[in-house]
Structure 1
């Protein structure tokens, strides 16, 4: 069987998909994963064959089809509409590359990241079913609807009047903290994944002090969101902890680090089992990594749309949510102290870890993909 994985817009949206793609390859199937050029290193570094379908990034897609830079509102429904339009434009830029790949390679099945809106269109073009891959983080219906509106010309070109529905959905979010309005989905155990480097002993062992990891995501640059990361580091640094900062190397080089702190492109999936607390921006991949390892979290969701899952996990007692609009050193440091000193947070985080561990493995979900493809073949042959 040939399975085409249509990946997301960046490393954080690629890594949750990787274990399922790896499991499909391990089961003997042919797999190709696509994405923008910016995602190629993350896909290829995971051992998955990859095809770049556009040079554009999601940031490039702030410019509309008329060449006008469209401001993104700070919040409210208008923000989701603007973001959906951006993802729709990224899908439009990706579509020709995907259609060419499908015509040449002829996949039997498409697995599409929920925000990769060209996936359903290429599945329709290829005449095969598609499966929706969700994290249930920052994926509201309003973004889907705005993306579909943006893709109206492409859908008309393919003879569509609406986005083709998936055969089924899968989600890597534990059911107890999924959004109440999320569609029915087959659960899939999240296997933490990240870009790897040669390990040193300190990465998989820890010392006597509590280990706290700070991150503001993989897209931080020296010129973009640097102040957010440096502010988090500054607020956590005075604590009596072992401090790790997961960030691109060029960003790490500019940080004013306290003595003993380590910073750089760290393998967070390896470090997570050794961490006592993680302080981060509420991004999908790091949130899921914490859930899979039973690590209490301090959420500082500076990007709108990331508050909802943060609030659900915090309400469960496995995390603290700090409002990024008015947080100060006392808020961040106090939240970290609470998570370190109150054992109830770790106990609840471990309950979510156990729930994650009980979800079907990627190998079991591959069996569902096999059944779907076989049923489609039988249905096609009977016509």
Structure 2
């Protein structure tokens, strides 16, 4: 069958759907992944066929349809609406290219990440099932509602009165952390994905000191979110620990000079994570799920408001502790690190969560579920 994956506009959300796309391809299906032009290298580095459907980058969606840059609200609810409308405008910018693609290459099913709001519209246009895949432990529903409001003109042009509901929802959130009102889903084991480079021996060997990893996610650049990363590094570096800073090379260079016990640059998650005692980060979806899957305790500082909800859930579970951005002083972060490193309960709960994640259905099983969905649609 032909499977069209509709990616989001940043590497973080693309990383979330790459493993399933690779599994679909390995199962013998024809796969294309659509995204804006600036995301083509990220997809091609995953050895997946990439199709550009827009010349606009995600950042351009911060400007509304009148050409006015939209200020970021301080109120939490208004921030969710801002996020949803931004993702909606991004989806609108990709829609023309996506519709032209499916006219030339009719898919049998469309798979979209949770924030890829063009995917349900394309599936409805093509008359094929729509599969929605979670890319983290869940976003506030207000974001979905705001995106639908932003996309009202496009939905009207397609003859739709509402955002199409998914025919199948694939959720990677472990059952213990799913909200009570979460929709019915096909659960799937989360498999971390990141770009690859030669692995150095220090990544899988431990020193005599505890190892703490610091990250601000894959989207950090010298001009975006660098201050967040710099602040976390400076605060964690005060501890008597080995510090690893996961960052792109240009960002790592910008962090220099660093103390001898701090190493910054590309970090291979599968090799480094099992040797980490703690990770301190911005609560991004892939980072949070990745270290949860390896059983590493976490300190979450949710600088993006949509990350607060699942950060609280993970903290209540006992595998992490959350520090609000307005409380991320050096003293608070150092105290939190010391508490998590010395209390074995965090490590025990993190191990319990990792075991739960590893026991979820693997992607091969999920591919079978999608195949059955398409078969039923064809027969109908």
TM-score, shorter chain, exceeding 0.5 = yes
Partner of 2:43: 43
* Higher deviation after alignment, 247-256 or 135-144: 135-144
Whole-Å separation in 2 of the counterparts to 1:64 and 1:138: 26
Instruction: Say if 1:122 and 1:179 are closer, same or farther in 2 by CA, change over 3 A.
Output: same
Partner of 1:260: 261
Runs of 4+ more than 4 Å apart: none
Whole-Å separation in 2 of the counterparts to 1:208 and 1:7: 42
SS of corresponding position for 2:264: strand
Partner of 1:164: 164
Whole-Å separation in 2 of the counterparts to 1:368 and 1:285: 24
Whole-Å separation in 2 of the counterparts to 1:234 and 1:273: 24
Q: Does 1:101 align with 2:101?
A: yes
The alpha-carbon deviation at position 244 of structure 1 amounts to 0.6
The alpha-carbon deviation at position 138 of structure 1 amounts to 5.3
* Higher deviation after alignment, 230-239 or 264-273: 264-273
SS of corresponding position for 2:272: helix
Give me the CA root mean square deviation: 1.3
Q: Does 1:359 align with 2:360?
A: yes
Equivalent runs, 1:127-142 vs 2, <5 Å:
127-137=127-137, 139-142=139-142
Partner of 2:288: 287
Partner of 1:349: 350
The alpha-carbon deviation at position 173 of structure 1 amounts to 1.0
Q: Deviations over 1:78-123 (max 9, x none)?
A: 1111111110100000001111111111110011111111001111
SS of corresponding position for 1:15: helix
Partner of 1:243: 243
The alpha-carbon deviation at position 153 of structure 1 amounts to 1.1
SS of corresponding position for 1:54: coil
Whole-Å separation in 2 of the counterparts to 1:251 and 1:120: 36
| CA contact 1:194–1:269 (8 Å) conserved in 2 | no
Q: Does 1:230 align with 2:230?
A: yes
| CA contact 2:23–2:363 (8 Å) conserved in 1 | yes
Whole-Å separation in 2 of the counterparts to 1:357 and 1:128: 31
Partner of 1:190: 190
| CA contact 1:246–1:268 (8 Å) conserved in 2 | no
Instruction: Specify every segment of 5 or more residues in structure 1 that has no aligned partner in the other structure, as ranges.
Output: none
Partner of 1:86: 86
Whole-Å separation in 1 of the counterparts to 2:69 and 2:176: 40
Whole-Å separation in 2 of the counterparts to 1:17 and 1:205: 30
Whole-Å separation in 2 of the counterparts to 1:138 and 1:250: 31
The alpha-carbon deviation at position 136 of structure 1 amounts to 4.7
| CA contact 2:136–2:286 (8 Å) conserved in 1 | no
Instruction: Specify every segment of 5 or more residues in structure 2 that has no aligned partner in the other structure, as ranges.
Output: none
Matched residue pairs, number?
379
Partner of 1:369: 370
SS of corresponding position for 1:65: coil
The alpha-carbon deviation at position 12 of structure 1 amounts to 1.2
Whole-Å separation in 1 of the counterparts to 2:141 and 2:289: 21
Whole-Å separation in 1 of the counterparts to 2:9 and 2:49: 17
